[in-house]
Amino acid sequence: MADSVPVSDVVCVDDMGKARVMEPVLADKVSDLKDQCAEFLEDIELYRNAVDNFIGVLDNLATQIEREKRDAIIVSNELASLPIRTEQQMATLRSQIEQKTVELDRYRIEHRTLQKIESEQTDLINRLSFQN
């Protein structure tokens, strides 16, 4: 038992009369270290809360950014389709103009025909009126 330490070197009595397993200077250092650890843990907890709040803010910003990106994509798609829709509307209007032009020509021909018939009937009425 050459490695054994005498009990008087390990067990001490502190100023308050408590038995200590270590020296008072070492016990004070351990107590200070314990206090520092508690403060460190409090600081770590504050840091964790700050990081959690920061992550929450970033999550909210990310959600807003995604919403804005989606809206921007929708607007971009609408702008990209605008020339196509305009061309389609122009083609539809051209087609309607052509149809109306053909209809107008048909009505003009029909009007001339009706005028001719009216003229012939007026002539016929006049001839018949003069014969009597």
Ordered per-residue pLDDT tens for the chain, 132 residues: 445 545 555 666 767 777 666 667 777 888 899 999 999 999 999 999 999 999 999 999 999 999 999 999 999 999 999 999 999 999 999 999 999 999 999 999 999 999 999 999 999 999 988 886
**Is the overall model pTM greater than 0.85, yes or no?**
no
* Contacts with 24 (C-beta within 8 Å, 6 or more apart), sequence order: 12, 14, 15
Q: What are phi and psi of 12, to 5 degrees?
A: -135, 165
Helix (H, G, I), strand (E, B) or coil at 23: coil
What does the angle CA 13 – CA 14 – CA 17 come to, to the nearest 5 degrees? 75
In the numeric block, which tokens belong to residue 92? 């539809």
CA-to-CA distance for 18 and 31, rounded, in angstroms?
15
